[in-house]
Amino acid sequence: RKKSTMGRGSLIVFEGCDRAGKSTQCVKLVEALENSGTPAKLWRFPDRGTAIGGIISQYLEKKCELEDHAVHLLFSANRWEAVPKMKEHLLQGTTLIVDRYAFSGVAFTAAKQGFGLDWCRQPDIGLPKPDLILYLTLTPEEAAKRGGFGGERYENTPFQEKVAKNFEHLKENNWRVIDAGKDMESLHEEIQEITRAVIKDSKDKDIEKLWI
Ligand code: Z5A
Ligand code: MG
């Protein structure tokens, strides 16, 4: 495996509530990094393009029903199946900008009846640990201004409120809370500044393991 002499890439994760602008900012960030000569690649979970991701997609679109524990494990498996490729990119010096990760996995399942944060965390223990989590927050009123909910599973206010509470419990010191109510460009500038500092800082560090 080729290791970059420029140092490794960073693992940067976007998390946050519905319509916060994660996908929008991920795309803009990858573009800005690449334009300035920093190798970067967009990644997203769930990755609906794999066999496991196909089942997840059907579930989210309400085309099939799955037992809650089982679907939680599928979301986790969908991350684990990506790990070899992710590590390869990181070691070759490419920064990965990831739209949702294990934190969504935990926050969403733990919002269901009968699930605790601790059980939900178990299958994702040991995944590559992000160097930075950009947590985009938006009030329900601001979210409503960005259009209504889509038709997918979980897209309703009471559920999203529980999810937001769960995210609060998962925060650690590598999280940065971003007020996502600002305009796209100001957000983009703020996010770029934070991200570039982290990329510089993590170049020579080992990739750690999540929740270990
Ligand atoms: N899920 C799970 O249960 N377990 C897991 O392990 C994982 C996920 C990984 C699918 O996710 C669902 O899977 C999700 C969590 C669950 N369920 N929910 N909810 P997804 O990532 O596919 O969800 P999505 O369809 O991408 O929606 P989103 O993530 O909620 O949206 P977003 O990416 O944060 O926002 P956006 O698409 O960038 O922007 C939304 C709209 O606002 C759009 O019209 C933009 O043009 C507009 N926008 C964006 N930024 C701004 C600003 N700054 N101002 C004004 N308007 C803006
Ligand atoms: Mg999105």
DSSP 48-86: TTSHHHHHHHHHHTTSS---HHHHHHHHHHHHHTTHHHH
Q: Is 21 in the pocket of ligand 1 (CB under 6 A)?
A: yes
Task: Give me the pLDDT at residue 56, please.
Answer: 98
DSSP element (H, E) containing 102? helix 102-109
Q: Read off the pLDDT of residues 148-195 as tens digits, 9 standing for 90 and up.
A: 889 999 999 999 999 999 999 999 999 999 999 999 999 999 999 999
Mutate to test the pocket of ligand 1, among 14, 15, 22 (most ligand atoms within 8 A of CB): 22
Largest CA distance in the chain: 49
Categorize the per-residue pLDDT at 134 as very low, low, confident or very high, splitting at 50, 70 and 90. Answer: very high
Task: Give CA torsion, residues 60, 63, 66, 70, to 10 deg.
Answer: -50
Over range 134-157, report the average pLDDT. 92
Cross-strand pairs, 133? 13, 175
How many Å apart are CA 76 and CA 128, to the nearest integer? 13
Question: Does the pLDDT of residue 84 top 60, yes or no?
Answer: yes
Residues with CB under 5 A from ligand 2 (ion): 22-23
Q: How far apart are CA 160 and CA 79, in angstroms?
A: 22
Quote the CA–CA distance of 191 and 48 in Å, as a whole number.
26
Q: Ligand 1 within 6 A of 89 CB?
A: no
pLDDT score, position 15: 98
What percent of the chain is predicted at pLDDT more than 90? 92
154 alpha carbon – ligand 2 mean position (Å):
13
For residue 1, pLDDT over 90 is answered with no
Per-residue model confidence (pLDDT) at position 4: 65
DSSP 117-184: HHHHHGGGTTSBPPSEEEEEE--HHHHHHT----SSTT-SHHHHHHHHHHHHHH--TTEEEEETTS-H
pLDDT attached to residue 3: 66
**pLDDT per position as a tens digit, 29-60:** 999 999 999 999 999 999 999 999 999 999 99
Q: ipTM of this predicted complex?
A: 0.97
Contact 39, 96 (CB under 8 A): no
Q: In this structure, which residue's CA is closest to atom 49 in ligand 1? A: 21
Q: What is the mean pLDDT of residues 18-39?
A: 97
pLDDT value for 17: 87
For 67-94, b/e burial (b = at least 16 CB within 10 A) is eeeebbbbbbbbbeebeeebbebbbebb
